[in-house]
Structure 1
Amino acid sequence: MKPKLMNRSAEEIGNNHDLLTQLLLRLPTKSLLKFKCVSKQWLSLISDPQFCLSHTRHQHRDDDRFLEPTALLLKDDSVSGYFICNPTTKKFKKLSFPRNPFKACDFYVSLAFDTLKSPHYKIIVVREVSVNSYEFEMDIYASETNCWKVSEFNFKADDERMAFEDAVFCNGKLHWNSCGNELLYFDDEKGSFQIMQMPTPSSDHHQLEIHRYFGEINGNLHLAVTYHVYIALGLNVHQMSSDYSHWFLKHRLNLGDAMKVFPELNLGCFPFAPGFSGVSFVGSKKKMRQRL
């Protein structure tokens, strides 16, 4: 192709907004960040929130692997502050709370963000009203409006069994893990709290629970629990039904064979002294892999 013809074709593509959008949607994120420097037109298009959302959905549709995290909630212990960070762009913002969360009472900060539904996120702060009162209040920050909404109601919860520090955002709801028979979740769309029953453990395993993983995989809420059993390690994986009516046991594994490959794990020792720090899961449409 002659240089003049190539320049003309490139100019036609550049002036066609729809065609240019479809081409840019197929590029990886790192390339897009570099292409912001091409022109003001490209900068405006790539920076548009709607384009960012479309790009995320397009990349997810064409790739069965999990999306890389696009937002992190970080705590800086040295200054007792929280930051919301985008690892892709390396931009961050320090949170300014409407009410002082660093008093003697317990408080917990969680991120509510679904990259496949919206480019906007929310920060949910749960704070105990008074020491050992088991009564909590909640504030919500919305990135879309850049403002806080201070809750006008309080709720009761067993602080000793409810793990507010272990929160999972899934299907528009923020769930808090629990060591008891029930867990609490907040429905962001309805603005209400709901109670959910936890999976019933096996009677022979109940006193031997070692570690649990509470998280979201492909839009489904999961609870994975490891148990110490005779000369081995058991792992039960529960999944919440789509209508939130019940948990069902999806996987039951015996990890005793892992010692044949990794004898340093000491899976058969009691008291339990594992050679790993926890259990996490990576899921896909085709399979689920366990990582130790």
Structure 2
Amino acid sequence: MGAKRSRTTKQISPISCDSGLKSSAIIASAVIVASSEDLLIQILLLVPIKTLMGFNSVSKQWLSLITDPRFIRLRYPLPPSASALFFRSSSCSSNPDYQFISLDITEVSPIPFKTLNFTRDPLSSGISVLQSCNGLLLCASHQAREFNRRYYVYNPTTSQFATLPRIRREYSKHVLGMSLAFDSLKSPSYKVVCVRTSGKLLQIEIYSSETQLWRVSGEPFTAPKYMEFGNSRFWNAFYLGEFEGHWHLIEVNSDFTSLFDVYEMAIDHSWWFVKYQVDLSAISSVFPEIIKNNRYGYAFNIISLGRRGREEDDESFLVLEIPGGKIVHYNLVDKTVKKLWEYAPIGYKFYNDDGLRYCRALPYIESLACV
């Protein structure tokens, strides 16, 4: 027994000593890192974003560093790419639910939110998303009259939000639409554009997060009678949207064509040119349900156009809704198609004879932008 105790003592002593040395070395290394802001930045740039959010509470120095626009530009030197699409999954009168669809079928990402509960809306009607713009969401009181509606800008990555000040009371009930404008590569601030009536004319007011004020922009103007100033930008076989600084336009003039073009606007905004061509027959060979029941034409709904990767044509793609509750990914470069998601068959309600729901999806983009 004595021999055993002796051997045990000899085993414990060196380990305890090594542990102490290792702890001292770790503390010394941490002090060196903390004292060198450049070294700390290089480390924080590699940390996953969810972990990075937890580091905000380490110290005021770390919080200031992580939220600094210069750090954000280093973290995201290129236009951000969407990791998922999300859309309202219910039409209930209370706080709406949202469904997320990952754009990477090989990786399951955590759902950022199911409902928006970042604040208690004073109207007790819940909060819904109107628009997604480069990581920020424009939100509003759900199903509320315009006169009472509250508007918010929310960053779901950082859980930060800002409540927008009301425009002048006499104009609040005349609002026709609100839109968010934000580009982190150009400025850390964002703007919200409001279109409202002014007598028989229309007027634009712009809110700036930099000044936190609304200002009238330009003179009152007229517009076509049926022009929409909401945030919808894609309807069935028509799409108009911006992605990574490029504007794209799709218009399918016939249900019977298997080919249609995707147009892109020139950098100087002077003209549109054909960027891609979509071949619906390539989709129907994998998902024959896209062919209408009468065998004439195709049934589909354009949900989104985007790009994954850093190269120009790494993976430009369309996301389409097809009959049967399927959401599919169509690669515009190599013409391949794959299923991203499918509605549960039980309880799913089709909204037209072609079996399409016409869901309106918005991009989800991780961002460190302050609001």
The two structures have a TM-score, normalised by structure 1, of 0.71
What are structure 2's unaligned runs of at least 5 residues? 1-20, 85-133, 321-371
Aligned to 1:191: none
- Distance in 1, matches of 2:56 and 2:155, equals 17
Aligned to 1:90: 159
1:212-227 superposed matches below 5 A: 212-227=238-253
- Distance in 2, matches of 1:77 and 1:36, equals 31
Summarize deviations over 1:126-169 as a string: whole Å, max 9, x none: 11223xx3x21111111112111123521222142x432248xx
Structure holding more strand per residue: 1
Q: Does 1:266 align with 2:291?
A: yes
Superposition deviation, residue 33 in structure 1: 0.6
Aligned to 1:287: 315
> What residue identity is the alignment partner of 2:158?
T
Aligned to 1:115: 184
Superposition deviation, residue 273 in structure 1: 8.0
Q: Does 1:10 align with 2:39?
A: no
Superposition deviation, residue 3 in structure 1: 3.0
Superposition deviation, residue 83 in structure 1: 1.6
Aligned to 2:71: 51
Aligned to 1:38: 58
Q: Does 1:211 align with 2:237?
A: yes
Aligned to 1:170: none
Q: In the superposition, relative to structure 1, how do residues 269 and 144 fare at CA in structure 2: closer, same or farther (>3 Å)?
A: farther
Which structure has the higher relative contact order (CA within 8 Å, separation 6+)? 2
Q: Does 1:156 align with 2:222?
A: yes
Aligned to 1:256: 281
Summarize deviations over 1:169-209 as a string: whole Å, max 9, x none: xxxxxxxx79xxxxxxxxxxxxxxxxxxxxxxxxxxxxxx9
CA contact under 8 A between 2:140 and 2:152: conserved in structure 1? Answer: yes
Superposition deviation, residue 222 in structure 1: 0.8
1:53-68 superposed matches below 5 A: 53-57=73-77, 60=78, 65-66=81-82
1:83-232 superposed matches below 5 A: 83-100=152-169, 101-103=171-173, 105=174, 107-130=176-199, 133=200, 135-151=201-217, 153-160=219-226, 162-166=227-231, 211-230=237-256, 232=257
Q: Does 1:70 align with 2:135?
A: yes
Q: In the superposition, relative to structure 1, how do residues 227 and 270 fare at CA in structure 2: closer, same or farther (>3 Å)?
A: farther
Query: What value does the CA root-mean-square deviation take over the aligned residues?
Result: 3.0
CA contact under 8 A between 1:124 and 1:138: conserved in structure 2? Answer: yes
- Distance in 2, matches of 1:32 and 1:98, equals 36
> What residue identity is the alignment partner of 1:228?
S
- Distance in 2, matches of 1:112 and 1:271, equals 41
Q: In the superposition, relative to structure 1, how do residues 291 and 254 fare at CA in structure 2: closer, same or farther (>3 Å)?
A: same
Secondary structure of 2:220 counterpart? strand
Aligned to 1:278: 302
CA contact under 8 A between 2:175 and 2:194: conserved in structure 1? Answer: no
Superposition deviation, residue 65 in structure 1: 4.4
Secondary structure of 1:41 counterpart? helix
Q: In the superposition, relative to structure 1, how do residues 67 and 155 fare at CA in structure 2: closer, same or farther (>3 Å)?
A: farther
Secondary structure of 1:279 counterpart? strand
Task: Quote the sequence identity (%).
Answer: 34
Secondary structure of 2:229 counterpart? strand
Q: In the superposition, relative to structure 1, how do residues 235 and 82 fare at CA in structure 2: closer, same or farther (>3 Å)?
A: farther
Superposition deviation, residue 246 in structure 1: 0.8
Larger radius of gyration: 2
> What residue identity is the alignment partner of 1:110?
S
Q: How many residues align?
A: 242
- Distance in 1, matches of 2:280 and 2:297, equals 14
> What residue identity is the alignment partner of 2:303?
V
Q: In the superposition, relative to structure 1, how do residues 233 and 90 fare at CA in structure 2: closer, same or farther (>3 Å)?
A: farther
CA contact under 8 A between 1:53 and 1:117: conserved in structure 2? Answer: no
CA contact under 8 A between 1:98 and 1:150: conserved in structure 2? Answer: no
Once the two structures are overlaid, the 10-residue window that deviates more, 74-83 or 28-37, is 74-83
Aligned to 2:41: 21
CA contact under 8 A between 1:211 and 1:278: conserved in structure 2? Answer: yes
Q: In the superposition, relative to structure 1, how do residues 8 and 106 fare at CA in structure 2: closer, same or farther (>3 Å)?
A: closer
